[in-house]
Amino acid sequence: MSAKELKKNNIIENALKLFSKKGFYNTTIPDIAKAMKMSVGNMYNYFASKEELAKYAIKYSTNILANQLKEINHKQISSKEKIFLFTKQYLENVKNSPEVIEYFLRVYLSNREVFAQGCEGFLCVSEFVTEVMILLDEGAQSGEFREQEFFTAFSMIMGCLGGFAFLSGEKVLDKDLIEYSNSISENIYRALKSDKA
Amino acid sequence: MIRHKPKVVWIQAITCNGNTHSLLSSNYSRFELFLNSFDFFYHPSLTTQNSLEDVFSLKEIDFLLIEGAISSNKEFYSISNNDTLSLLEKLANKSKYIICVGSCASYGGVHAKFEENKQIKGVSDYLISWNLEKIKHPIINLTGCPVHPEWILQTLFSLKQRETIALDENKRPKEIYYGLAHHGCTRNEYFEWKVEAKSFGVKEGCLFYEQGCRAPMTHSNCNRILWNDVNSKTRAGMPCIGCTEFDFPRNNMLETKKNIGIPMDVPLGINKRAYLTLTGVAKTFKIDRLNKKLIE
Ligand code: SF4
Ligand code: SF4
């Protein structure tokens, strides 16, 4: 990665924290610059606008998930095990760097107008969606998962995981997040599995 | 270059006659040129002048064209008291070129799916271990159900002119089968942007996701050398069913096999992960022009 790329990622990591804490509109470029101990002028050398930064940030944060799931997809294990592994990793992400998942829930999903141009549909999250497709496709091919429509299967996984990240962010859970891992995985798996599996 | 008028003998084994029909639909002037350039000595459905006995008494056949699958079982099929295998045996040894016309001759085609007779096979399956005395060229498969008439004529003219022809790993002439049926389809733009045809027979939309079009995985030139010089299946709004490939006929040919909405097979030579990323993105664009009727 070039020095400029590294710096960009660094800015994003700081911006994610601010966005998820204060919201997209309440966070300004000077706020981010301040957190970075950079001049505002210098910030604009990396991102031309807050919108551009927001789009870059959604690619950055979903690519973290995409890479984790890709690695899991490459393992020679059953689809059930893949779901258990991914759920666990996801919850660890939520625990260790909540800003990444929160950004997705609180900014990407709630401020759609920011992403309307240049991030249409799957454009900025496509690598992650592809990995979910591969997970589902291979599970169905091996007969472990039953036939259903892609979007219903997709939302069984993401709805469940997103919902839990939300509950965690609201601090309403009584146990440590990771302790829910097995029962969440079990729920997701049961929603997808074929009757014969 | 073969200077004399080469002798062409066409025999039929276990066949529906489809390739003969196809030959008779060839471009008129091309067919006339063929008749002027070759000695079309025998065809069971066409020639009256020469009989099968005359063919048997020939010393040498330049081009032996075989239509239909082969079986050693007389019960299933015989001509003039010859089962198809012994007919082949008698003629193959005299031939310089052996051309399997159509999928049945090439690998058994639809007949090989008949489970009651496991003996039904393609010509090469039987000839592979034979020592063919006169043969000058590896056996050529012209797959297709039926073959395009121009594929037959082009192969014959090429061999007459150049005496040899490059073959792919399935023994099909590369010059005909190098590309995919998808090349030249008038729906390519719909394919790129994932706009699907709403039904068969319409001009708009691609037939890949919903209707089972196999053209992106099928070697043939149907959309470049058009049928009857004017059309192709996919141009007319019927999906390609992959009739030139060795897995033809498959089950559920008008369906795209999917797993949780994701197509099982993706275009040849493309990594599935990359394909899914690309199409996922392409699908999110709504291009008005491509969602309208072409002619209102
Ligand atoms: S209809 Fe078939 S041949 Fe035509 S573009 Fe679609 S997939 Fe390709
Ligand atoms: S379009 Fe496909 S099914 Fe039709 S003739 Fe060509 S290869 Fe065969």
For the stretch B265-289, pLDDT in tens is: 999 999 999 999 999 888 888 899 9
pTM of structure: 0.87
User: For residue A167, is it within any domain?
Assistant: yes
**B97 close to ligand 1 (CB < 6 Angstrom):** no
User: For residue A9, is it within any domain?
Assistant: no
User: What's the average pLDDT block by block, 10 residues per block, for chain A (197 residues)?
Assistant: 89 91 90 91 91 92 94 97 97 92 85 86 90 96 95 94 90 94 97 90
**Interface contact B260-A153, CB threshold 8 A:** yes
Residues B146 and B102 sit within 8 Å (Cβ to Cβ): yes
Chain A positions in Cβ-Cβ contact with residue B260 (cut-off 8 Å):
136-137, 139-140, 145, 147-150, 153
User: For residue A36, is it within any domain?
Assistant: no
Torsion, Cα of B201, B203, B204, B209 (10° steps):
40
Chain B positions in Cβ-Cβ contact with residue A134 (cut-off 8 Å):
272-273, 276
User: For residue A81, is it within any domain?
Assistant: yes
Residues B61 and B91 sit within 8 Å (Cβ to Cβ): yes
**B180 close to ligand 1 (CB < 6 Angstrom):** no
User: For residue A152, is it within any domain?
Assistant: yes
Per the structure, the count of domains in chain A is 1
User: For residue A101, is it within any domain?
Assistant: yes
What is the predicted pLDDT for the residue at B166?
98
Minimum-distance ligand 1 atom for the alpha carbon of B190: 5
User: For residue A197, is it within any domain?
Assistant: no
Query: Which tokens sit at A136?
Result: 């589902």
**Count of CB contacts below 8 A, A vs B?**
56
What is the predicted pLDDT for the residue at A81?
98
Interface ipTM: 0.82
User: For residue A110, is it within any domain?
Assistant: yes
Can you tell me which residue has the tokens 């032996």? B64
Q: Given a cut of 90, is residue B214 above it in pLDDT?
A: yes
Chain A positions in Cβ-Cβ contact with residue B282 (cut-off 8 Å):
none
User: What residue spans of B6-108 are helical by DSSP H?
Assistant: 18-24, 28-37, 52-57, 84-92, 103-107
Residues B194 and B279 sit within 8 Å (Cβ to Cβ): yes
**Closest CB to A148 among B260, B264, B276:** B260
Mean pLDDT to the nearest integer, B178-192: 97
Residue A57 sits in a domain of what CATH number?
Answer: 1.10.357.10
Q: How many Å apart are CA B217 and CA A176, to the nearest integer?
A: 51
Q: How many Å apart are CA B120 and CA B118, to the nearest integer?
A: 6
Q: Does B48 touch chain A (CB under 8 A)?
A: no
Q: How many Å apart are CA A23 and CA A41, to the nearest integer?
A: 23
| Single-letter amino acid, residue B87 | L
What is the predicted pLDDT for the residue at A21?
85
The better pLDDT of the pair B176, A104 is held by: B176
For A156, the domain range is 49-192
Q: Given a cut of 80, is residue B48 above it in pLDDT?
A: no
